[in-house]
Structure 1
Amino acid sequence: MKNTITLAFTLFFSHFLMSQIVINELDCDTPGVDDKEFLELKSDTPNFSLDGYVVVFFNGSTSGADSSYFTIDLDGYTTDDNGLLLIGSDNVNPFPQLVIASNVIQNGADAVAVYLGSSTDFPEGTLATQTNLIDALAYDTADADDTVLMGLLGLTEQINEGSSNNTNSIQRFVDMSSNVTYSSVSPTPRALNDGSGITYNPITISTTQTQFNEGDSFDITFTTEQNVTGDYNFNFTLDNGGFSTADFTGNTSVTILNGQNSVTTSITLIDDILDEGDEEPIIKFENLTTPYIPYNNFIKLRVVDNDFVVAPWGTPTNPTYGIVASTQPSGYYDSLEGLADNALRQALQDIIANPATVRAQTYNDVIDILKEADVNPENSNQVWLVYTEQGRAKLDFQTSSNNVGTWNREHTYPRSRGGFNNIDLDDIIDGPDVYWATKADSLRHGNSDAHALRAADGPENSTRGNQHYGQYNGPVGNLGSFKGDVARSVLFMEIRYNGLAVVNGFPSTTGELGDLTTLLDWHRNDPPDDFEMNRNNIVYNWQKNRNPFIDQPDLVEYIWGNNIGDSWTNPLNIEDVDSVRFSIYPNPAKDKLYISGTSSNYTISFYSLDGRKLFTEKILNNNFLKLHLASGLYMLKIETEGKSIVKKVFIK
């Protein structure tokens, strides 16, 4: 390894040195989160079309096997007036002509090469080759030489950029004798390494903040590195997705006056009455000309829509019951009647894993499912985060390695404990009408089963990791509103997929999750509410199966709890002879319901009309029950002295 080397100008390498395109500079490792990596190509002549060329990165690690891991098709791109094309993320300054994701270029020992061809010639895992090779560079960050990779590319040297988090880049130089040298020095993106050529004057975009409300006004300032030598006019746009010129007023054509270096324009956001959701305008240069180039670009702003919808039901921390009705088809659970033990389990699985009706979606489809199923009842532009019990903008879904302030997909039944992982097609977003056939043995579909995936705060998801429930109990000081929800989701997984079980303790066996005792306690103390019923309905729209422990929470007791061995009967089917005299009043009721009779105590259970238990309480004779229910008709089951009866109650 060398920081500066000289390559002999031999016939073997002449096809590199005489070619139109060379690798001019590479920065594979940058301090911090490593998001300012870049590759710079150079053509012998300026403004050279790169149609027909492709860049390929090769992984020199043992697992990478000296094969391709990332390709960039260069069709449609042209080098600039200095013959340069800068490739990097939108964190690189000056702004690249070709933008790629951040933190995608590996540190080494690896290689990058330019070929004649296209990205389809190098599917992931293609072994490095010299066929149609134009130029190549083997590099590292204080790693041992990968002689096999160098040999595959016809190279004899591997260039060291520096140790981890270095501030260098690898730059190519040619002396008067046409000898090529590579040096690890301070980066010079979008500039010739020897300091020659056109000196550009980068323009920086700045705003005082990045988040605004509809109706706000704000300034955008454009600043050049050097004073302009004549009036310079240019345009910019704010369009992105649904955000367009109809959403703001203000001048998007500006002029920096001769001898000055900045101009400011004011934008006013229109406060309409439309529920468009939060939007993200992007400030983009439109027509910069030499010597002016973007220093930064694609500056994303946030416009918070004040026309969001508030649902008629509550959040999990302020739950409501009976407002959201189950959308289960008529007779959905009829096959369970009179069954117990394994027969009940099997009949339940036959419903929720029925290969004739149940669908499996991709893991990326789950993003859209959660935006709908986990919507914050208090703000339709947000999702509700399962453990931290708060709303977060739907737009803040995690898309990079930085999870702070973002939300992501939390597997309540961790993947590592369930034994299911991503497959290639999971990266596709194709909507509810494109799906996989699935059955009880399709364990891999547990990876994208929305009944067991929840929107979660990024750092809190990492904190939970793959801990069992009981080991993990949520953030300190929260209300625990998630506990019954996650209990029912992981119990669903045991019935839905063969190979999964919820057990006591904290097992280490793949396919087992704990702690069953804890989860049963959570289920009993946090019954299904309207938020959970709404998400059950939404997931049903996509997957065509339901979580039965939300629709019929008493089923948990018949499979894992106090009624094991008992035959299941829909609780509203039970009606004994009314041998115990009692009365309920008033009916219709509003906020209180009185029970009076000859017994000393009563167990009162409220059910929705579709048979879902809303809550159960015990009260004494001639006492009252406090009601927190939406207006409508309910079924009231009264149990005392071993007898029960069901009555209708109307809530005003």
Structure 2
Amino acid sequence: MKNIYLLVFTILFSQVSLGQVVINELDSDTPSTDTQEFIELKSDTPNFSLDGLVLVLFNGSTSGGDSSYFILDLDGYTTDINGIFLIGGPEVSPVPDFLLFENTIQNGADAAAIYLGNDVDFPEGTIATTTNLLDALIHDTDDADDTGLMALLGLMEQINEDENNNKTTESIQRKDDGTYEVKTPTPGALNDGSGVQFNGILITTSLDQFDEGDSIDIIFTTEMNVTSDLIFDITITNESFTTSDYSGSTTVTIPAGMNTVTNTIQIIDDSDDEGDEVMKITFGSIPSGFKRLNDNKELRIVDNDFTVAPWGTPLNPTFGNVTSTAPVDYYSSLEGLADAALVQAIQDIVADPTTVRTHSYADIVEILSNADQSPENSNQVWLLYTEQNRAKLDFAGFTNTGETWNREHTYPRSLGEFGDWREFDDIADGMSGFLTTNADSLRHANSDAHGLRATDSNENSSRGNQHYGEYTGPTGNQSSWKGDVARGIFFLVTRYEDLQVVNGFPDDTDNTISELGDLATLLDWHRNDPPDDFEMNRNNIIYNWQFNRNPFIDQPDLAEYIWGNNVGQTWSNTLSINENERLDFSVYPNPASDYITLLAKGKRGDVEIFDALGNRLIKQPFNDTTIIDLNLSAGLYLMRIYHDDMSVMKRIIIK
């Protein structure tokens, strides 16, 4: 329903000498994901140049303060033969003249306005004004009238897109008399159905995903039969998907009297591990009288040449196959220290401002794609919490598919008060682009790969900012991630001055920011899920980027000297687990059933097996190669091997 206010305002339309440009149609909420939202401009004369004009969107919310949030300089653009210029989201059909990211246009109460000027005249946060204003529309979806915004723009009405209770299937449309109505959207066409009618061309395929070696039938269909041969070109290359990856013609001909044709593209099955790729079908120049109903159609090409790592996933862990790449003396400064001095010495290593680097939050996507790469398939990442593989291409910022992965802050960003540093964090500039950092640079925890993991996007949201112990993972998870998370938290609270891990669950309402619980839970997780090959490989990859390592992966006993059973005792590397000794022990088969073999290479000592709760179930001596009989139910167990005052922990699975 329109609400009329007795405000007086006069716009000097004479400022535009060749024709008037107005906001002809606006759809801010179609569908609920806002992939089909659009703004349509209309000029009085056809093929009208929009040079010298700028479109500005204003935020009418309390936080927005009636100020600009999106600005589009219209220089270089021209309306079509019907005087239409379409600006819209990725799923608007026909294809907009200017593409918006999904969910760009806010629902209201907000405004769209056309001004004489350029984008530099309206930096983000500019208050709405009538200066050089040509046309404006204040819109909402059942929101209260923003009388302040109306006054700023000199308007007497605010239009409700939901006045018919169909906001996701209707739009606000201008009538010839300058008033508005709400009805079924007509993007790219005159609202009354008049004008030149274009013949739309649509791209379709039977599937959205194909394998190397497949043939792909690309179908091109026009809305009406063509009166003469319609010939146009397409491209299908995209980033790493090049002309060497396919064969077939990219020139399309729809014969006269017909409205469809099929072009077949053969995907080449090579032997290169290129990773999964995206083929993008894009129209070239389209003859006059035709419009693209869709474009840039993306098809996933799955590479069958993926590699498998010689180590296991966290669900099927292996030990001793991946060695630490830490320099020999990396931890030598810890020798003979205890308590606060030991913690400080660790921080001096992992936060050394002369060595350690920080990368952008955007770079984290590439880092996690490598560090969390699935041992089972090099084209996938291994997801924390849900304990599953997912295609690297399904990162939430790269695709619209339902099942995506995202960057999970194991120490919740809201609790740590990590802040985005936009000038730096939004740019992925690779390993060569970095900043120096130190123990006080808490903002850099936002993009510290030791504290970030690839996770299912929905589970990332479900976890929120819960403390560990409150959060124990999705139903049915097998706890393969818990030790990894604990060691990531131990690293962060040692690396950054203002982060803390505490017992219990701090109440955020008591201003206990930068405190994360529960320490006792994390210590148990650390003990019961020791570092495996997957975690060591991850540590090595992050070290290549950040020039620091997680010491609780390399030297897991350190946690006991800082928070656990050895607090107050002096640390000595010679008494910790030596990596060379660790490699001298192996167990097989793993998973096991009736027995497991310990290969000790001439050593002797004792071996113990514990359940996940820490209960000792088996203890026996070993001497060189020893067979250990198992009479245990299926599940996850820990094996502790004692030899010459040292101990090695291995995780075994009984099936």
TM interval, short-chain normalised: 0.7 to 0.9
Return the letter of the residue paired with 1:103. Answer: N
* CA-CA distance at 1:626 after TM superposition: 6.4
8 Å contact from structure 2 (residues 3, 158) kept in 1:
no
Cα distance change on mapping 1:151 and 1:9 into 2, 3 Å: closer
Alpha carbons of structure 1 residues 341 and 46: separation in structure 2 relative to 1, 3 Å? same
Q: Tell me, which stretches of 5 or more residues in structure 1 are unaligned?
A: 576-585, 606-616, 628-636, 648-652
Q: 2:599 aligns with which of 593, 603, 606?
A: 593
Matched, 1:106 2:81: no
Shift of 1:4: 10
% identity of equivalent residues: 60
- Distance, in Å, in 2 between the alignment partners of 1:385 and 1:494 is 23
Counterpart residue number, 1:541: 544
* Residue in structure 2 matched with residue 512 of structure 1 by the alignment: 515
Preserved CA contact (<8 Å) 1:503 1:513: yes
CA contact (8 A) 1:7 1:180 kept: no
Among 320, 323, 326, the alignment partner of 1:322 is 320
2:569 counterpart (552, 555, 566): 566
Aligned 1:65-84 pairs, distance under 5 A: 65-84=65-84
Does structure 2 conserve the Cα–Cα contact (< 8 Å) formed by 1:90 and 1:102? yes
1:386 pairs with 364, 367, 384, which one? 384
1:578 aligned residue: none
Equivalent residue, structure 2, for 1:143: 143
Distance 1:326 1:11, change over 3 A: closer
CA contact (8 A) 2:58 2:110 kept: yes
Name the stretch that deviates more: 142-151 or 106-115.
142-151
1:638 Cα deviation (Å)? 7.8
| Counterpart contact for 1:3–1:182, Cα < 8 Å | no
8 Å contact kept, 1:4–1:181: no
In structure 2, C-alpha distance between the alignment counterparts of 1:403 and 1:219, rounded to whole Å: 22
1:525 maps to which residue? 528
Gaps of 5+ in 2: 579-583, 589-596, 610-617, 629-639, 649-655
Distance 1:618 1:491, change over 3 A: farther
* Change beyond 3 A, Cα 1:456–1:573: closer
1:19-168 superposed matches below 5 A: 19-162=19-162, 166=167, 167-168=169-170
For 1:172, the equivalent position in structure 2 comes to: 174
1-structure distance, mates of 2:24, 2:155 = 16
- C-alpha change, 1:407 and 1:574, in structure 2 (3 Å) is closer
What's the CA shift string for 1:282-317, capped at 9, x where partnerless?
A: 111112122211111111100011122222222111
Deviation, structure 1 residue 460 = 1.3
Which position in structure 2 is the counterpart of 1:183? 181
Aligned to 2:244: 246
Q: Please tell me whether the aligned partners of residues 21 and 44 of structure 2 are also in contact (alpha carbons under 8 angstroms).
A: yes
* 2: CA distance, partners of 1:42 / 1:318: 62
Structure 2 CA distance for partners of 1:24 and 1:542, relative to 1, 3 Å: same
Matched with 2:208 is 210
Report the alpha carbon displacement of residue 130 of structure 1 after superposing the two structures with TM: 2.7
In 2, Cα distance between the equivalents of 1:4 and 1:185? 20
Superposition TM-score, scaled by structure 1 size: 0.87
- The verdict on how the C-alpha distance between 1:247 and 1:76 changes in structure 2, with shifts beyond 3 A counting, is farther
In the alignment, which residue of structure 2 is the partner of 1:620? Answer: 621
Say whether the 8 Å CA contact 1:313–1:319 is kept in structure 2. Answer: yes
Aligned to 2:615: none
SS at match of 1:420: coil
1:490 deviation in Å?
Answer: 0.7
Residues paired across the two proteins, number: 609
* TM-score normalised by the chain length of structure 2: 0.87
Counterpart position of 2:451: 452
Distance in 2 (alpha carbons) for counterparts of 1:503 and 1:9: 62
Instruction: State the distance in 2 between where 1:424 and 1:73 align.
Output: 23
Rate the CA distance shift 1:336–1:312 in 2: closer, same or farther, 3 A.
same
Over aligned residues, Cα RMSD in angstroms?
Answer: 3.0
1:468 counterpart residue number: 467
1:257, CA displacement in angstroms?
A: 2.3
3-state SS of paired residue (2:301): strand
Corresponding letter in the other structure for 1:397:
F
Partners of 1:401 and 1:135 in 2: how far apart? 36
The 1:318–1:401 alpha-carbon spacing in structure 2 relative to 1, beyond 3 Å, is closer
Per-residue CA deviations over 1:131-179 (Å, capped at 9, x if unaligned) read 33332222222222222222222323222222576122112222xxxx4
More moved, 211-220 vs 10-19: 10-19
SS where residue 431 of structure 1 aligns? coil
1:475 deviates by: 2.1
Relative distance call for 1:125 and 1:622 in structure 2 (3 A) is same
Q: Please tell me whether residue 310 in structure 1 is matched to residue 308 in structure 2.
A: yes
**Does the C-alpha gap of structure 1 residues 618 and 354 become closer, same or farther in structure 2, counting only changes over 3 Å?**
farther
Q: How far has the Cα of 1:101 moved from its partner?
A: 0.5
